[in-house]
Amino acid sequence: MRLSRKLLAIGLGTAALVALNQMFEHGLGNFQINPYYARIINLIGINVTLAVSLNLINGLAGQFSIGHAGFMAVGGYTATYLTVYHGKAIAALAGSTLSDGVGASLAMVASLAVGALAAALAGLLVGIPSLRLRGDYLAIVTLGFSEIIRVLILNIPAVGGATGFTDAIPITNFFWIFAMAILTIMVVRNIATSTFGHALATIRGDEIAAEAMGINTTRHKVLAFVISAAFAGVAGGLSGQLFANPLNPQNLNFVKSIEVIVMIVLGGIGSITGATLGATILTVLPEALRTFDRQFPGLRMVVYALLLILMMIFRPQGLLGRRELSWSWLGAGRRTKQPIGRSGTGGLAR
């Protein structure tokens, strides 16, 4: 019964995403979504994938990585390269083209899979030697990796070099962006509630105690790092193939990694719901302040930074802390105390 319910939920969710994608792409009757708003919504989905995936290593495992932009770049450039140079051949396998839904979907699946694999491999190569380090040392290593990737991309003409991958084919759409965001949330949530996730939480609490309990801390941290990097690669593949958003090394420097960290800090480190909320707020807020920027040119980012500073002063644990939103919150105020147990005579057990 549980399996049938899950399959039904997946089917209904997929149908809803397809319907929403149709509305985003072609509108609904006379109703057409403003392309500017549609772009912001798509960026929210990509940023949710980035934030939730980083929350796995920075929040759940308690490590401090600032190289997420590097993994995003590896996955993004790999996925986009595959589509640009081999996309037609992939679409032809289904007797279709990249301009057709079937061919584009097949190319999208292949590019995201390869991008995720490349980013995961990069995460493994970085994670094995560096995750024996802790705290600031790990942050420095991941930052160095991110910058190495950026400099290498600047010197590869096949992917556009310093000008960016302007040959990218825009096959990303609402369906793929939010399907991957939901998949990321589900995977990270299942990891957090699994035995593996409990081991990561133990490592976060006290790594020495975790080792004393027999937990292979390096193995657990590397695996979490690889999974996090893979989803960052998926986000990169989505971003690189989004309309009018070509990959550019200047947009994938350490500042991008800091932006993602701020998202999870704002929402609450360790909270999947918080990471989602933080990604949404920090994608919308800079755009919402553009009206202010027209009246007071140059002050938009000052106000943006000031709001974040005030947030950290008055709510340092983030909006949700480590809590997760659930349906039970809606009925929290209506709950009444229930007896812990009953004795055989019908009285309360003490």
pLDDT single digits (tens) 161-201: 888 888 888 888 899 999 999 999 999 999 999 999 999 99
- Ordered alpha helix ranges (H), the chain: 2-26, 35-55, 68-92, 101-130, 136-154, 174-192, 195-205, 207-212, 217-240, 254-267, 272-288, 290-295, 300-314
Q: What is the pLDDT of residue 333?
A: 41
Q: Name, in order, each residue with C-beta under 8 angstroms of 34's C-beta and a sequence gap of 6 or more.
A: none
**Distance from C-alpha of 72 to C-alpha of 256, rounded to nearest angstrom:** 10
Structure tokens at 201: 């939480």
Task: Give per-residue pLDDT as tens, 54-78.
Answer: 999 988 888 888 889 999 999 999 9
Secondary structure (3-state) at 194: coil
CA-to-CA separations, 251 to 27, 77, 236, 257, in angstroms, rounded: 31, 13, 11, 10
Res 348 pLDDT > 90: no
pLDDT higher than threshold 90 for residue 280: yes
35-47 pLDDT, tens digit per residue, is 888 889 999 999 9
Contact 53, 184 (CB under 8 A): yes
pTM over 0.85: yes
